[in-house]
Amino acid sequence: MILETNSPQETFSAGRQLGEKAFPGQVITLTGDLGVGKTVFTQGLAKGLGIEEPVNSPTFTIVQVYDEGSLPLYHFDVYRIGDIEEMDEVGFEEYVMGDGVSLIEWANLIEEILPENRTEVIIEKDLEKGFDYRKIIINEMK
Ligand code: ADP
Ligand code: MG
């Protein structure tokens, strides 16, 4: 599925729609350059799960857990990951096997440990279409 948005609000809303359809154990990977809208999409997704507290990129921790929604949200931002073994230390495997929704920003950096069964979200800019234009590609991988 391919969506096109022209504002942060529209990207938020795309995330919210995915959040409303989320299921236990779902793994959602987010890929795209810095500033493309991964966190905006995540904030919408959290809203779709009924999470009201503010969601930001976890800067000093790799994972942030939100428990107040219809499903727990495990929000990973692996941008600063040094070594793939750090993912073991934070318990990545346990989260992915858990009943919550695991969402991973910069998932391409940990490609080798991603489960095959996942929802892949790729966000791209196209400056020819304007500064606020984003293409959002959502693929169910199996
Ligand atoms: P990332 O997490 O990918 O680094 P952020 O979500 O933190 O990016 O930031 C995206 C930035 O781009 C925000 O400042 C947002 O206002 C801006 N923006 C402009 N247009 C869009 C759009 N269509 N969708 C999402 N964000 C947009
Ligand atoms: Mg981010």
Q: 74 phi and psi, to 5 degrees?
A: -105, 105
CA distance 65 to 35: 22
Q: How far is the CA of 116 from the centre of ligand 2 (A)?
A: 23
Q: What's the whole-model pTM score?
A: 0.96
Q: How far is the CA of 55 from the centre of ligand 1 (A)?
A: 14
Write the pLDDT tens digit of every residue in 78-117.
Answer: 998 989 999 999 999 999 999 999 999 999 999 999 999 9
Ion ligand 2 residue ranges (Cβ < 5 Å): 38-39, 57
Does 35 sit in the ligand 1 pocket, CB within 6 Å?
Answer: yes
- pLDDT score of 61: 84
Residue 68 has pLDDT above 80, yes or no: yes
Q: How far is the CA of 37 from the centre of ligand 1 (A)?
A: 3
**CATH code that applies to domain 2-141:** 3.40.50.300
Residue 18 has pLDDT above 90, yes or no: yes
Residue type, 110: I
CB contact set of 103 (below 8 Å; sequence gap of 6+): 27, 28, 29, 30, 42, 45, 73, 74, 75, 76
Mean pLDDT over the full length of the chain:
95
C-beta of residue 77 within 8 angstroms of C-beta of residue 58: yes
